[in-house]
Structure 1
Amino acid sequence: MNITFFIGNGFDIQSGLKTSYSNFYDYLNKELKWVEIGWPLNNEISEDPETWADFELALGKITEKEEILANHKDLYDSIDDFKSVFASYLQDEEKKLDIDFKDEAIQNSFLSTFRNFHSDLQPGEKVKFNSRLNLHETWTYNVITFNYTSLFKEIYEKLPSKLGEHSLGNRTYHKNKGVFMDIHGTHQLDMLLGVNDHSQFSSKLHEIDDESSFVLVKDITNTELRNTKKETATELIHKSNVMCIFGMSLGATDKMWWDLIGGRLLSDKSTQLVIFAYEGVNRGTSTRKIINMRKKWEKLFLSHLEVSEEAEEDLLDRIFICIDSNNIFRLPEKTKDLISSNAQNAHN
């Protein structure tokens, strides 16, 4: 059985790193770094940082402006500047990671997640979820990360190849590490920033300049880089029996991946999806609000798919939403405290 985890920036943030775009803009303001990012992004973002909290979506929309269309090569240069300064910022953030990735407590936090990732499901959900799991075979855990940092990778690579085991009758089946890949590159190599497809930026820009495709569309950039990341990730999804999304907003600029996950769910009715959603609520939040949060995330995922109402009902029977899990890839408090204590020296 293949279990594939999709890891987003929420993991880094949960672990104490300041890696959101908003964090980066605060840094640019504090350190007076806007000058290092050329026009037009320096002006556009500094004047309206809230709109640019979703950088990739805002990047696509800015191409609709006539002034940008007339000077689109300046935009490309500005994107390069942005990537360079952002990569340097993330590299400084990683200086906080003066920790032992082989630390037993850190290792156990990951091992516990892989072995018990479905522990936060509600009792009725667990019965349904577990009934579809194939216990008569080895389980392989794959990871596709969308992060530019190395924190998750550093911990994952230090884990033993055998993550656990389960027994059935007189037979024992292993739980093994599988494929790890960073689909959007890292701050050190092939860092991808952009939109999902041509519909998310100006059709006029696409008409007047072919270069716009591989500058702005992440999927096309990967193809032009001549790597096989898309093909490898697609194959992993097609073989997955369980898929888990953690630390991601399910944004439109990654729509192709939600389409692929949805397609896998539709093609095999034993396949299941768990979305670990962050809402930042306390445990005393009303049941009405929790239920509405779950429905919001269900609706958000389904909004990326073009399916019938009947298909939606079938999908919802195999999509599980966990709000604010305390058990998923949560580093020990002493580790997070150490990361935070190093923060003051990160950008010096």
Structure 2
Amino acid sequence: MGYEDFTSRFAEARTQYNVMALVGNGFDIQVLSGLGAPTDTRYESFYHFLKYRKFEPTNLILEQMESLQAAGAENWSDVENAIETLRSDGGVPAGQIVADVRKIQREFASFLDQVATPDVLSRLGDIAVARESTINSYMEFLGDIEDADEYHKMKLTQRVDIGDIFNFQFINFNYTTLLDDFVYLDQEQFDPHPHRWSDRNINFHPNPRGHSDARERASFYMVANLISDVVHPHGVQYTPRSLLFGIDEADGDARTLSKPYWAQNKVKYEALFPESDLFIIFGCSLGATDRWWWRAIIDGLRANGDADLILYWRRGAHDATLTADELRTRFSDAAGYGADAGMLALLREKMRVVLYDDSSERAWLNTNSLTAPSWVLP
């Protein structure tokens, strides 16, 4: 089953654009850092939580994390990397791994309860409302495409028109509801029916930076309609047994460790990809354990000739010189295609890359900026 069609629910709706936004742990880390939280949702923080709690030292996952740490592995604290290593290199039966993963699952839920507290959620919501960060994410994100050539390569910018519907489907890979809180269309920022006669409820900014030769000028906002929803394919904090830790698709006994299997990805989400007009990836590490999603995005780009992809990547100390093409290669590799020339050509055509740091002006999911982007008009 694909996206729900809302065109008949609005008067004179023209076209519905389905936007699939995939959001990873980078978002939660950004939020908690901005709020000055004492800890965050990194696996390394969870490891220290386990040690503080004197968690079962013979747990296979914890043992593997410590073994990788001793070996100097860069991602030693990654729970899912530990699971994959146990399965592929350690020869440990899947059933034995599953039993210890369930113990980790319960501990991680307790850990999150101490990190993503009701107070944190309330403070995040207050900030989103005060700075209008939520509605700016939805309406102003095209301003994040700074380069005019990259902007003009997008199909969406050539298609959107007055009266269109923007249907956002957030795929929240995080177990917390920090993202759910931030993108919630509250009564301060959004009115579902603000006009007496027209049911159009938003003003979308199609060319925020005023790129030359664009269809619209910088000052133009088009009235349109907005729908938004959030799903948690890997579980949610307040249901501890729903939290999924594991590997990508697998056969045989290893299937019991597969996240796509337990999340029922093919049944619930596969049909969405060919109907998606825009994919946005934010805060994701592009790990192999989520390869199903990266391959499905590529399948969606192939199936829908008008589909676009925007990848946001925060530049850290270790990748300050990273380029857009290097990230396209990294995404291709994460999807299992390596440096395939045809795949890289497809990504150069379809994929826009937004490289940013903490000082960058940005509209999309920016929880920390004190002011709206300069292109947002009153």
- Give TM-score scaled by structure 1 length: 0.78
Structure 1 residues 313 and 128: CA distance shift in structure 2, 3 A: same
How many residue pairs match? The answer is 308
Task: State the partner residue of 2:202.
Answer: 164
SS of the equivalent of 1:192 reads coil
- Please point out which of 61, 64, 67 is paired with 1:41: 61
Residues 270-308 of structure 1, C-alpha deviations (whole Å, 9 max, x = no match): 2110000122259xx6xxx3xx43222100111225496
Task: State the partner residue of 2:348.
Answer: 316
Once the two structures are TM-superposed, the CA of residue 11 in structure 1 deviates from its matched residue by 0.3
Where does the alignment leave 5 or more consecutive residues of structure 2 unmatched?
1-16, 34-39, 193-200, 206-214, 371-378
Maintained 8 Å contact 2:277/2:306: yes
Task: State the partner residue of 2:374.
Answer: none
Distance 1:28 1:14 in 2: 23
Task: State the partner residue of 1:99.
Answer: 122
Task: State the partner residue of 1:143.
Answer: 170
SS of the equivalent of 1:97 reads helix
Superposition RMSD in Å: 3.1
Maintained 8 Å contact 1:105/1:332: no
SS of the equivalent of 1:165 reads strand
2:150 is equivalent to residue 125 of structure 1:
yes
2:160 is equivalent to residue 134 of structure 1:
yes
SS of the equivalent of 1:177 reads strand
Distance 2:110 2:327 in 1: 33
Q: Alignment identity in percent?
A: 20
SS of the equivalent of 1:257 reads helix
- Please point out which of 271, 294, 301 is paired with 2:331: 301
Kindly report which structure 2 residues correspond to 1:66-77, keeping only aligned pairs within 5 A, or say none: 68-69=92-93, 73-77=95-99
Distance 1:166 1:117 in 2: 10
Question: In proportion to residue count, which structure has more helix?
Answer: 1
Residues 214-254 of structure 1, C-alpha deviations (whole Å, 9 max, x = no match): 2x10111123xxxxx65343333222111100000111110
2:308 is equivalent to residue 272 of structure 1:
yes
Maintained 8 Å contact 1:266/1:315: no
Distance 1:181 1:314 in 2: 28
Distance 1:124 1:333 in 2: 26
Once the two structures are TM-superposed, the CA of residue 182 in structure 1 deviates from its matched residue by 0.9
Distance 1:194 1:124 in 2: 40
Task: State the partner residue of 1:344.
Answer: none
Distance 1:254 1:175 in 2: 32
Once the two structures are TM-superposed, the CA of residue 38 in structure 1 deviates from its matched residue by 4.6
Once the two structures are TM-superposed, the CA of residue 67 in structure 1 deviates from its matched residue by 6.7
2:294 is equivalent to residue 258 of structure 1:
yes
Distance 2:89 2:204 in 1: 58
- Please point out which of 261, 265, 269 is paired with 1:220: 261
Maintained 8 Å contact 1:242/1:273: yes
Where does the alignment leave 5 or more consecutive residues of structure 1 unmatched?
200-205, 224-228, 335-348
2:370 is equivalent to residue 329 of structure 1:
no
- Give TM-score scaled by structure 2 length: 0.72
2:178 is equivalent to residue 155 of structure 1:
no
Distance 1:296 1:60 in 2: 26
Structure 1 residues 232 and 40: CA distance shift in structure 2, 3 A: closer
- Please point out which of 179, 200, 211 is paired with 2:229: 179
Structure 1 residues 83 and 171: CA distance shift in structure 2, 3 A: closer
Distance 1:248 1:171 in 2: 30
Distance 1:54 1:13 in 2: 15
Distance 1:68 1:317 in 2: 43
